[in-house]
Amino acid sequence: MADQRSEIAERYASAFFELASEQGKAADVEADLDALARAYQDSEDLRRLIASPAFSAEAKMTGFAAMLEKSGAQDLTVNFGKLVAINGRLAALPSIISAFKAIAAEARGEVAAEVISAHPLSDEQTNELKAQLRASTGKDVALDARTDPELLGGLIVKIGSRMIDSSLKTKLTRMRARLKEA
């Protein structure tokens, strides 16, 4: 199921990036999607609207489009949001956004990295992480940073198919597993 959702996200993101690029609005649309990703992370109501089977596709489309319009999103982004909602693909939205950002980064000659931290990173921490990743990959890095308080501390960094998990939550889980073995 996850592979299918990823494949669907890639198709939607690729088509949307192509359309936005043709209209010269790829950067504007990417900014809209960044704002949407933050809203998705911060709003329980938005996550409920997207995930709940209690809302019809039409109701989801109407609510989602209204939220995008209120946020000042490009008409292109609003129309794309309507399409995703009416096709019943809102659950894939976080994957679509990540895929779009990866495609956009590649088009700029960058590599996309997803960073999950327990607390928001400061500008200094973000710049240091970008520098380390640039040294590791040899390319400029476009960071997609978000927070997950359940990590307790540390970071999870995903670049392509590689993942570096230095979160405190994972370290504690590994330690607990080792203690059970002993």
- What token pair was written down for 173? 């889980």
Report pLDDT for 3. Answer: 60
Q: 3-state secondary structure string, 28-92? A: HHHHHHHHHHHHHHHCHHHHHHHHCCCCCHHHHHHHHHHHHHHCCCCHHHHHHHHHHHHCCCHHH
Of 136, 139, 138, give the one whose Cα is nearest residue 164.
136
Q: Where are the domains of the chain?
A: 2-102, 110-181
Report pLDDT for 5. Answer: 64
pTM of the model: 0.71
Report pLDDT for 42. Answer: 85
Contacts of 18 (CB under 8 A, 6+ apart): none
> CB count, 10 Å around CB of 38?
12
Report pLDDT for 113. Answer: 86
Assign domain 2-102 one CATH number from 3.10.200.10, 1.20.1070.10, 3.30.70.141, 1.10.520.20: 1.10.520.20
Instruction: Answer whether 143's CB lies under 8 Å from 111's CB.
Output: no
Assign domain 110-181 one CATH number from 2.40.50, 3.40.50, 3.30.70, 3.40.30: 3.40.30
Neighbouring-strand partners of residue 163:
158
Per-residue pLDDT of the chain (182 residues; tens, 9 = 90+): 456 667 888 999 999 999 999 999 999 999 999 999 888 888 888 888 888 888 888 888 998 899 899 989 999 999 999 999 999 898 899 889 989 988 998 888 888 888 999 888 899 999 999 999 888 888 888 888 888 888 888 889 988 778 888 888 888 888 888 888 86
